[in-house]
Amino acid sequence: MKVVIIGAGPGGYVCAIRCAQLGMDVTIVEKYNSLGGTCLNVGCIPSKALLDSSEHFYQATHQFSTHGIEVGKPTIDFSKMIGRKSEVINQNTKGIEFLMKKNKIVVIQGVASFLSNQKLKIHKTDDSIVELEFDKCIIATGSKPITPPSFQYNKDRIITSTEALSLKELPKEMLIVGAGVIGLEMGSVYARLGTKVTVLEYMDRLLPGMDFDCAKELQKTLKAIGIEFLLGKSVQSVEQIKQKVKLIYKSKDAEAMTNIEADYCLIAIGRRAFTDSLNIEATSIAKDEKGRITVNSNCETAEKNIFAIGDVIHGPMLAHKAEEEGVFVAEYIAGQKPALNHHLIPGVVYTWPEVASVGYTEEHLKEKSIKYKIGKFPFKALGRARASMDLDGFVKILADANTDEVLGVHIIGARAADLIMEAAVAMEFKATAEDISRICHPHPTFSEGIKEAALDATGKRAIHM
């Protein structure tokens, strides 16, 4: 079977590998000369590289001496920091090239567009054009930042996350529009390095959609590293005047406009599905009101031989979601009966402390009129957290009031990103809070916070609280 995949991000390249493993003849088309998509080139990996570097600097300046370590006054070689990030990207994208070769996947560099529901035109990077017929095609073209015209995005001082990951100088002041995942992760990077960061957010809280208590706790800790929050503010416009940016916002329920200035403005107000240049009009594929490709629960479009996965369809814009859909589609095409539980896709914010969630929030449960009980345990009561002085945060478990089944877990604290998987596994197997509470957890670890929260949910049995 001849399969063509458009886009070599985590959705596309993972799908390609699984299709090849299942014996298909696979070609992947990618418009950039570097594989890995947003995630490897301008997303997950570079942002985490800078989060790690900036966290080291912050620890050296603020925490080492508490541990009895004196290193003098640390300084920043910003171009070296950015260079290390680029090297991390390079190693990762080379790894994907190796995997393509190993799995005998044909890689074509160029922009793919549909000629019909069985044929693509590829405008190759060397300017030549080829046509490619397929039995099955998978669209994995991802997403791009939303940049309204009034925000005058110019890649110079008015930037998106893409440019914020490769700046040439350390900004003195940065305005960030949006207290979502990107705003808070990139805001953390620059605030830790000494930039005066101000985040403007339309809602009255950080991280809309995630657990409210976690968001409140995160706001407190991010304020402590110097980030200023202007909440309930709707940003109207941004313009660059010489080497400064001028931003105009208004409070949600007021008419008056306020100006604010800084060196840089990062626009982080969400991403849109990217279908430009696909010419899907040559097929009967439909898009929804947000421009995302419409698919059914098997990721099938209106054309039965064309599928779509990842950021370009509905659902959270996350690399692991794109990967799972890639595997799902490959196995579905091969005639298997794969399953993917979209409800249990964990979400993580890699600030410090980290925030991680899986399943329902309290807001969801209230909307659905499901009665629930809460088990909560603070990190400051954990021996491991005391040893490392990572005392901020808590584990919150939401369990069904009648059956005790775990319905949602929300963690803010050190290593939350890794801890959340215990909850996801438990929930996949429909564990109750009591099930978790009766499993022996190693001491001293942060995972004891999950056990204690589970004990708290089942009859207030927490031991260390």
Catalytic residues: 443
Nearer to ligand FAD, 142 or 375 (CB): 142
In the numeric block, which tokens belong to residue 254?
């007021």
Stretch that binds ligand FAD, among 166-174, 305-313, 391-399, 434-442 (CB under 6 A): 305-313
Residue 355 binds ligand NAD (CB under 6 A):
no
What part of residues 140-159 is at the interface with ligand FAD (CB under 6 A)?
140-143
Residue 394 has φ and ψ, to the nearest 5°, of -160, 165
The listed partner (ligand FAD, ligand NAD, none) that binds 32, CB under 5 to 8 Å by sort, is ligand FAD
> Please, what is the minimum distance in Å from the beta carbon of residue 403 to ligand FAD?
31
| Residue number with CB closer to ligand FAD (108 or 231) | 108
Which partner in ligand NAD, ligand FAD, none is near 320 (CB below 5 to 8 A by kind)?
A: ligand FAD
SS (H, E, C) the chain: CEEEEECCCHHHHHHHHHHHHCCCEEEEEECCCCCCHHHHHHCHHHHHHHHHHHHHHHHHHHCHHHHCCCCCCCCCCHHHHHHHHHHHHHHHHHHHHHHHHHCCCEEEEEEEEECCCCEEEEEECCCCEEEEECCEEEECCCEEECCCHHHCCCCCCEECHHHHCCCCCCCCEEEEECCCHHHHHHHHHHHHCCCEEEEEECCCCCCCCCCHHHHHHHHHHHHHCCCEEEECEEEEEEEEECCEEEEEEEECCCCCEEEEEECEEEECCCEEECCCCCCHHHCCCCECCCCCECCCCCCECCCCCEEECHHHCCCCCCHHHHHHHHHHHHHHHCCCCCCCCHHHCCEEECCCCEEEEEECCHHHHHHCCCCEEEEEEEHHHCHHHHHHCCCCCEEEEEEECCCCEEEEEEEEECCHHHHHHHHHHHHHCCCEHHHHHCCCCCCCCCCHHHHHHHHHHCCCCCCCC
Q: How are beta strands 25-30 and 106-114 bridged, if at all?
A: parallel
Tell whether residue 177 is a contact of ligand FAD (CB under 6 A).
Answer: no
227 binds, among ligand NAD, ligand FAD, none (CB under 5 to 8 A by kind): none
Q: Which of 88, 89, 111, 455 binds ligand FAD (CB under 6 A)?
A: 111
Asked if 214 contacts 184 with a C-beta cutoff of 8 angstroms, the reply is no
Backbone angles phi, psi at 3, to 5 degrees: -115, 130
Is 348 a binder of ligand NAD (CB under 6 A)?
yes
Judged by CB under 6 A, the stretch of 137-145, 172-180, 204-212, 336-344 that binds ligand FAD is 137-145
Give me the sheet containing 347-349, strands edge to edge.
347-349, 354-359, 406-413, 394-400, 372-378
Is residue 132 a contact residue for ligand FAD (CB under 6 A)?
Answer: no
Q: Which residues pair with 91 in a beta bridge?
A: none
Binding mask 213-252 for ligand NAD (x = CB under 6 A): ---------------------xx-----------------
In the bound state with ligand FAD, the residue whose beta carbon lies nearer, of 355 and 433, is: 355
Binding part of the chain for ligand FAD, among 57-65, 313-321, 360-368, 386-394 by CB under 6 A, reads 313-321
From ligand NAD, ligand FAD, none, interface partner of 200 (C-beta below 5 to 8 A by class): ligand NAD
Site string for ligand FAD, 335-374 (x = CB under 6 A): ---------------x------------------------
50 binds ligand NAD (CB under 6 A): no
Q: Is 31 an interacting residue with respect to ligand FAD (CB under 6 A)?
A: yes
- Which one of ligand FAD, ligand NAD, none interacts with residue 12, CB within 5 to 8 A by kind? ligand FAD
Binding mask 256-275 for ligand FAD (x = CB under 6 A): ------------------x-
Site residue total, ligand FAD (CB under 6 A): 37
- Judged by CB under 6 A, which of 201, 331, 390, 422 binds ligand NAD? 201
The nearer residue to ligand FAD, 39 or 218, going by C-beta atoms, is 39
Our finding on whether 182 is near ligand NAD (CB under 6 A) is: yes
Per CB under 6 A, does 269 bind ligand NAD? yes
| Residue 441 vs residues 358, 436, 452: alpha-carbon distances, Å | 20, 9, 10
Under the rule (CB under 6 A), what is the footprint of ligand NAD?
177-183, 185, 200-203, 208, 234-235, 268-271, 316-318, 348-350
Under the rule (CB under 6 A), what is the footprint of ligand FAD?
6-12, 29-32, 37-39, 43-44, 47, 111-112, 140-143, 161, 182, 274, 277-278, 310-312, 317-320, 322, 350
